[in-house]
Every structure is written in structure tokens, then in C-alpha cells.
Amino acid sequence: MVNESTRREKISQSDYAVAGAVSGFVTRAVCQPLDVLKIRLQLQVEPISQTSISKYRSILQACILIRNEEGIRSFWKGHVPAQLLSIVYGGVQFWSFETLCRKANTFNLAKSYTPLVNFSSGFVAGSLATLLSFPFDVIRTRLVAQSEKYKAYNGIINAFVKIYKSEGFPVYFRGLTPTIIQVAPHAGIQFMCYKIFAQFYKYVFTIDENEYTTVGSILSGSLAGLCAKTVIYPLDLTRKRMQIQGFEETRKHFGRIFSCKGMVDCIQKIYVVEGFLGLFKGLSPSLAKAVATSALHFASYEYICLLLADRH
């Protein structure tokens, strides 16, 4: 990243891609249950409250119900496409971010421009990574959304084939618009905040700015993920609702069916039917996931980069 130590200067562009892919793999393996829980809550039209009409009434109740109805393994439902998503996304995102930051350094910009450079580089990196990994996100959402009693797909390959045959190639990118609108600023804010919090941590504890600390990386990543996810959350929910369109029959077991005809229509319907707070449905597990994944993602990425640097 910008202003890294001389150890990091030894790392090649391919090393950045490897570090990003490995950190994505590790993060996904640990945090997948939170993602499953978040998606289930996001897709429920009924309020997440103690009412008889709601399938999922709270985070704890949802966890217990999913375990009782579908078993512990269901918390890793859709894990294979999710891993492919994370590996591709992580590799492309960190590689493109580091490449853009290195290019920016050749212009000898003043240090005051560092936050802007980090935001802009993260913005572009997030957009590119999203575009290349998006089909895996659609498959992951479909597999997580389906009920064990009414399965539409028997696995990742079966899902890819069935979707292509019954709905066409463009469906692999359904929900891409709100995702790009969401992910681009999210990635920009996340990288910018991570660097700001990391520098603040080193300032408070009088640590050299080029020195890597695991605790500082974890704390900075956690706060960066919290800030970024809160800002863009309604678009994340909109993306999930759009990705299950045409998939309604297998979701009767989960409650009221939600249908929409596009991003704007989706947001309007959520607001009208579920209220303003409906746009933040599932926010709690989403924030828990954002804090955990960002901390793991950045900390593991930084650590792997240093391991690769020492190899040269």
C-alpha cells in the first residue's frame, strides 16, 4: 500500500495477487456462517421481530432454527462458490489496488493526497474485482437462499448449468448495478479508513509508520469494515433481493415472496412494504461479518505479504 516499508518493496505484483487470494480464502472459511445468516435475514420480507408471521425473529432464534431445520452444515451452504468468489475477488482487488498505488507514487504527490489515492485506488480495485467475480456471488446467493426441502440446485456446477439453460447468461450478472454502486465506494472507504486508523494506531502507541503490527492491523481493519458497511448497506440488501428474482418457487418455505423489476423498483418496494428500517434488515450480522472479515482480510494479507517479502 502507500508508504509501506522497504520489505514490502521486494514484493512483486503477482505476490500481491497471491496474498489477496489466500487472505480471501482464510477469511471466507472462518466467516461463512455469518454470511449465510445475513443473507437469510436480508431476503425475509416479514419484519425481524417477535411476531408469529416471521420465520426469523432474531439473530439467536434464526441460528437455532437453521441448525434444527437444516443442520450445522447449512451454515456453510454455498461455501464452494463463496470461496471462488473470495479468492478471485481478493486476488484481483489487492493486486489492482497495489498496482494503482505504486503508479500514483511515481507522481510524487504530497502526503496529504494519500487518503484520496487510497480511496480512488480502492474504488477502481473494488469495481474490477466485483465484475470478474460476480457470477460466483449470484450462485452463492441462490444456494444459500434455497430450502433443504425444496432444492432447485444440487451444487455449484448444477446451478451454473440450470441458470444458463432456464434464465440465460445475463442472469449471472443480475444485481450488478447496485453491487458496483455499493462495492466501489465501499472498497474505497475501506482502504482509506484502514490506512487512517492504522496510522492513528501507530501514532497513539508511538510505533514506526513502516512497522507491521498484528493488533494494529486487526483493529484498523475492524473499524474500516464497520464504517464502510454501514454507509452502503441498503445497496447490499437490494443486490440480494435482485439476485433471487425468478427463484421464488423454492422460497415458499421462508415466508412472503418478494418480487421487483429493477434496482429502483426494488428499493421503492422495500421502503413501501417494509419501511425505512427494512433497508437495513440483517444489519447486525452484516456488521459482525464486516468487522470480522475486514480484520482477518487485512491482517492476513499484510502478514502474507511480509512472508512473501522475506522469501525474496
pLDDT at 12: 85
pLDDT at 298 over 80: yes
Grid coordinates belonging to 80: 464452494
Mean pLDDT, range 141-154, rounded to an integer: 81
- Please report whether residue 2 resides in a domain: no
CA distance 240 to 175: 8
- pTM value > 0.85: no
pLDDT digits (tens, 9 = 90+) for 59-78: 899 999 999 998 998 898 88
- Please report whether residue 48 resides in a domain: yes
Mean pLDDT, range 78-83, rounded to an integer: 85
pLDDT at 1: 46
pLDDT at 248: 62
Across all residues in the chain, what is the average pLDDT?
88
pLDDT at 186: 92
- Please report whether residue 159 resides in a domain: yes
Mean pLDDT, range 106-126, rounded to an integer: 93
- Please report whether residue 44 resides in a domain: yes
pLDDT digits (tens, 9 = 90+) for 149-205: 778 888 889 999 999 999 999 999 988 988 898 889 999 999 999 999 999 999 998
- Please report whether residue 3 resides in a domain: no
- Please report whether residue 252 resides in a domain: yes
CA distance 198 to 14: 25
- Please report whether residue 242 resides in a domain: yes
pLDDT at 140: 87
HEC readout, the chain? CCCCCCCHHHCCHHHHHHHHHHHHHHHHHHHHHHHHHHHHHHHCCCCCCCCCCCCCCCHHHHHHHHHHHHCHHHHHCCHHHHHHHHHHHHHHHHHHHHHHHHHHHCCCCCHHHHHHHHHHHHHHHHHHHHHHHHHHHHHHHHHHHCCCCCCCCCCHHHHHHHHHHHHCHHHHHCCHHHHHHHHHHHHHHHHHHHHHHHHHHHHHCCCCCCCCCHHHHHHHHHHHHHHHHHHHHHHHHHHHHHHCCCCHHHHHHHCCCCCCCCHHHHHHHHHHHHCHHHHHCCHHHHHHHHHHHHHHHHHHHHHHHHHHHHHC
Which segment of 9-13, 22-26, 119-123, 225-229 scores lowest on mean pLDDT?
Answer: 9-13
pLDDT at 285: 85
Pick the more confident residue, 95 or 6.
95
Number of domains in the chain: 1
pLDDT digits (tens, 9 = 90+) for 19-56: 999 999 999 888 889 888 988 898 898 888 887 688 99
pLDDT at 5: 52
pLDDT at 312: 65
Mean pLDDT, range 134-156, rounded to an integer: 85
- Please report whether residue 188 resides in a domain: yes
pLDDT at 3 over 60: no
Pick the more confident residue, 311 or 141.
141
CATH number at residue 242: 1.50.40.10
pLDDT at 98: 92
pLDDT at 152: 84
CA nearest to 126, candidates 83, 84, 92, 87: 92
Domain of 41, in residue numbers: 8-311
pLDDT at 209 over 80: no
CA nearest to 40, candidates 267, 284, 292, 293: 284
